[in-house]
Amino acid sequence: MAGKNGKAEGGAPADIQEATRSFEQWMRNCAPMVESDLRLKHEQMKEDVFLFLRGTFYRWAQVWPEVCPDLARGPKVLASGDLHVNSFGTWRDVEGRFCWGVDDFDESYPLAYANDLVRLAASMRIVIDADGLAVKLKDGCDAILEGYVGSLKEGGCPFVMEEHETKLGKLGVDNLKPPKNFWEKLNHLPAIRQPLRPDLKRALERKLPDANLDYKVVRRQAGLGSLGQERFVAIAQWKGGFIAREAKQTVPSACAWVEGKTGHGESYYKQTINSAVRSRDPFQVIEGQWLIRRLCPDSNPIDIQTLPKDRDEEMLLHAMGAEAANVHLGSKRQIPKVLKDLQKKKANWLRDAAAAMAKAVEKDWDRYRES
């Protein structure tokens, strides 16, 4: 029998089905859920193991201390939590510059620094096995660590496209094309029938260029780990074109569920994004229980498999490691402890941990897709 945090009696992790049921009930206690989106999430998680990894950070948080106990006890930082090779995207900063970096902080939490590195490397291993990346696991892990350690020692640096033109060109990021029919697809969604809650209405209107604009509000499905959380988008015509602002209901990290915490609890999203080394998106803010951001064709998550085939994968992974460090540098006092801990590690520690966690994920996926 599973307990409140999906663990079997005695404290060991329950199976994936019990963990999923427990976590989703906990989510319902935190905020209203869109049940049809949860059903879609379950369908997508059965399609392949990488989608399963993305949709089950709650299970990762539960299993990680069991599979990698020594790493899980390492120095803590304010971590991204749910870091993987598709956790990166683009946005415009306050100067209108094109920026790249981690774009998902839903699962931010004080965690051992190795959590983000191992999850990133495990996701790489899973994508390699699916022929989505050509790099070897050892070379990829070395690139991640080199980028991470170098960035920590140098104090980090935001990835601004104009300042890293040659480097980001090799990543293939500057060749990304905006999604086709972006506005057509968004406008095709039906308007909601019920009026917005007052707090949500105020939060959206604060980020519109004119609070008196006429706008249409639609519901939107996006992401995978956050499928089930409410999303509303205000769409308006302004000065010759469309604009949109999205509001997503925030909930605490799944790590709070693992620790047995209940209720609405604290989301570390705002604290993490404000403390990280980055040139922020000025339209991305937390208003109460809502994450507000601007939607537009050139501010989007990046699917690594959509990047040009001539990309430099080791350089891309190096940049991902450096960006993970940019986030961890928000915990400045912990960085000397992190660097000292890294010096003690064996050369293959990240590769071994990534392989072990990827194996645990694949084992859970095999069981999950049979259910």
pLDDT digits (tens, 9 = 90+) for 190-227: 999 999 999 999 999 999 999 789 999 999 888 777 77
**Scanning the structure block, which residue is given the tokens 């699916």?**
130
- How far does Cα 268 stand from its chain's mean position? 13
pLDDT exceeds 80 at position 228: no
Break the chain down into helix, strand, coil percent, rounded to 5: 50, 15, 35
Q: Is 113 within 8 Å of 332 (Cβ atoms)?
A: no
Q: Is 54 within 8 Å of 224 (Cβ atoms)?
A: yes
Q: Residue 9: what pLDDT?
A: 42
Computed over every residue of the chain, the mean pLDDT equals 90
Q: Residue 3: what pLDDT?
A: 53
Q: Residue 33: what pLDDT?
A: 86
| Beta bridge partner(s), residue 243 | 236
Q: Kindly report the pTM of this predicted structure.
A: 0.93
Cβ neighbors of 100 (< 8 A, separation 6 or more) are: 88, 89, 90, 159, 161, 168, 173, 302, 319, 323
pLDDT band of 98, cuts 50, 70, 90? confident
CA distance 104 to 220: 17
DSSP 8-class letter at 178: P
Q: Which of 198, 282, 291 lies closest to 246, judged by CA?
A: 291
Q: Residue 225: what pLDDT?
A: 72
